[in-house]
Amino acid sequence: MFNKELFEIAKNVSKKAYAPYSNYKVGAAIRTKNGKIFSGCNVENSSYGLTNCAERTAIFKAVSEGEKEFEEILIYSNSGKMPFPCGACRQVISEFGDEIKITISSNEKIVESSIKKLLPSKFEL
């Protein structure tokens, strides 16, 4: 079921994105199993490889606060293009469980999935 609270948080934080090169602003909100919510936006860099996506920003903030068990992440952009997580973000999300629900939204369009569906063969050591 669509989580309106995560949607609003991700939408609001997307406005804080630092995206001077692509102008593609993304926000993410992740909910832990104990109900805490962390948000993040994308932060670009002129050396593109140093850019950090919204999903990883939110996850890294949560982990830095001691949270490692997640239920759902919502990723938002108002660009009209669905902000599906990149490969690096899919791998990072999968590190914390195969059943994490993923909701992708652009404006009013919504796609619900899971990390297991988006990354069926993750890298593992």
Residues catalogued as catalytic: 55
Please count the other Cβ atoms lying within 10 Å of the Cβ belonging to residue 117. Answer: 10
Strands in 26-32's sheet, in edge-to-edge order, are 37-41, 26-32, 70-77, 101-106, 109-114
The one-letter code for the residue type at 7 is F
Q: For residue 30, what is the enclosing H or E element?
A: strand 26-32
